[in-house]
Amino acid sequence: MNFLRNFLAAILGCMVAIGIIFMMFFILVSLLGSDEDAVTVKNNSILEIQLQRPIADYTGTSEVNPFSGLFEESQGLDEILHAITVAKDDERIKGISINNNFIIAGLAQTQTLRKALTEFKEKGKFVYAYGDFYTQKDYYLASVADSVFINPVGVLDFKGLSSEVLFFKDLQDKTGIKMEVIRHGKYKSAVEPYLENEMSDANREQIKELIQSLWNSMVAEISNDRNISEQDLNVIADTLGGRTPKYAKLSGLLDEVVFYDEYESKLANALAIEESEEIDYINLDDYTKYANKKVLKSGKDKIAVIFAQGEIFYGEGGPDIIGQGIINKALIKARKDDKVKAIVLRVNSPGGSALTSDIIWREVELTKAIKPVIVSMGNVAASGGYYIAAGAHKIFAEPTTITGSIGVFGTVPNVSELAEDIGINAEQVGTNKNAVDYSLFEPMTDRFRNQVQEGIEDTYETFLERVAQGRNITIAQADSLAQGRVWSGVDAKRLGLVDELGTLEDAVEAAANMVELSSYGIKKFPKYKSGFERFMEDLGGASAKTKEGMIREEIGEEFYTILKNVKSITEQKGVQARMPFTLNIK
């Protein structure tokens, strides 16, 4: 009976596998047979922007290929910006409709999108925005539009920025599972949640100043686009003056309260067509496929753009992880390519392994001795993210970039109290005095703690030296800006930690100017496997990315973020140059 059941299961499995293979074959044939005409852009069209997936600076698969975008769980900011730029000069595209809720992007990414939409409007084209629910980040993006609309029973959130930090000291005391921490830096509060039950004054100070600077940047832009004074915007936030659609309109945050069909009537009017006529929309994903075939910058000389995004871990790295393997290979390849005249390193990272950061820093040093290296900072380039950027010839940051955090720490898990409670006793035997240095099941000894502290201090001093050398300041000056303190891009510019405020495009133009190039092409690094290729590799089961997507969908973005942070903590090895806290701005 078991044999028959197993035999039938094997047959069924083979049939399913064959079915999947045939399905993939037909998809492949369809994709390979497609061309530019497969995406039809009609005259008098509207580009509809709905940002439904998380936005990454770069997905690594934006080159024209039949698998581009297939099975991808994130959207590349570089592709979105390219599509908007192409649409700006596409006579068939008359305007843009932003119809988005719950944008999953950082403030700097959102700020860059606003700039692209502003440039689109400068071509005499319209941008309208509609929402059922505007989070603050959604509204920040939508406020760039010529007109902003909301559903009559919708909600607009406009109350100022806040950040929440979780503390685990009592949890550790109750469970017997704790993190032994060693740190350097007055503001290096990445480990504070394990040591205290409440926020220190130093940590509260830096978070308050940071989010105030970010809020000021947002308010200044909203003020300019909505023609409301910054003072009035802060009054609106303090009094919740936009909490209902009616109040939001009265306060000037938006233009009209309408149902979606009425919004479409507004779009028809903007297109100068009858309300009864069908509006020709083209969605962003489809237009991106068309736009990716349009080369905006070309020339035999190239500017290399190397994307370093994610936490920093020792090893090869990948699309969401910075490892010395993949980043250094990209730097070496760009350095040895005679067509590449300058390099822009795009950094979007909260930091991580200090060792990996230093390995990448060294490769940047070797590279800049041969070719100009300019850094462009994204949402965050802090701690290890700043470490790998510090040596560049020039550093660009967005006003809303989070950077700095020059400091280091170490965390070591310990379950000795739990082990004692449940009756576990560990005994060690070694050949030499220091052979047995630490056990998860025994309290940390002073000798081991002193060893780790020595490593922390050495790493911090090295970090300061790298910053002082790169920024052409003294170690004492670097130390005064360090201690783990984080800054906004605006404050970092004021303090000399960055050179200019600007986008990735501004950094690329600066790189071209450094080597006196008037015409040039862009060469992007590294190259990653497409979502389709990763899917085929994981055909036998759900891939890690697919599993993550399923978990995110089931438990929600906020709880998924907490889960991801816990997972990151358990994977930390060695001395860490990492953001002083997990910043969840809302």
Q: What is the CA radius of gyration of the chain?
A: 26
**Catalytic choice (74, 376, 383, 543):** 383
Candidates 410, 449, 447, 412; CA nearest to 180 is 412
CA distance 404 to 383: 6
Task: With beta carbons less than 8 A apart as the criterion, state whether 55 and 35 touch.
Answer: no
Residue 35, SS3 per DSSP: coil
Candidates 286, 284, 282, 280; CA nearest to 268 is 280
Percent of residues in the chain assigned helix, strand, coil, to nearest 5: 45, 20, 35
Give yes or no: 229 in active site.
Answer: no
Residue 375, SS3 per DSSP: strand
Tell me the residue ranges of DSSP E strands in 273-362.
Answer: 280-283, 302-309, 311-312, 321-322, 340-349, 351-353
Greatest Cα pair distance in the chain: 88
CA distance 164 to 193: 12
Q: Which residue has the tokens 């802060």?
A: 234
**Catalytic choice (88, 115, 188, 524):** 188
The alpha carbon of residue 54 and the mean position of all alpha carbons in its chain are separated, in whole angstroms, by: 9
Type of residue numbered 470: G
DSSP letter for 56, please: E
Q: How is 480-537 classified by DSSP, letter by letter?
A: HH-TT-EEEHHHHHHHTSSSEE--HHHHHHHHHHHTT-SS-EEEEE-----HHHHHHH
DSSP letter for 163, please: B
Tell me the residue ranges of DSSP E strands in 3-123.
Answer: 45-49, 55-56, 75-76, 93-99
CA distance 483 to 461: 11
Task: With beta carbons less than 8 A apart as the criterion, state whether 400 and 498 touch.
Answer: no
Task: With beta carbons less than 8 A apart as the criterion, state whether 391 and 415 touch.
Answer: no
CA distance 204 to 156: 28
Task: With beta carbons less than 8 A apart as the criterion, state whether 311 and 571 touch.
Answer: no
Query: Helix H segments across 311-351?
Result: 324-336
Type of residue numbered 224: N
490 CB-side CA count, 13 A? 14
Other Cβ atoms within 10 Å of 363 Cβ, number: 20
Task: With beta carbons less than 8 A apart as the criterion, state whether 568 and 310 touch.
Answer: no
Show the tokens assigned to 340.
């590449």
* Peptide bond preceding 526 in cis form (omega within 30 of 0): yes
Strand partners, 302: 340, 521
CA distance 225 to 242: 17
Give yes or no: 518 in active site.
Answer: no
Give the chain's length.
Answer: 586
Show the tokens assigned to 363.
């490769």
CA distance 571 to 181: 15
User: What residues act catalytically?
Assistant: 188, 383
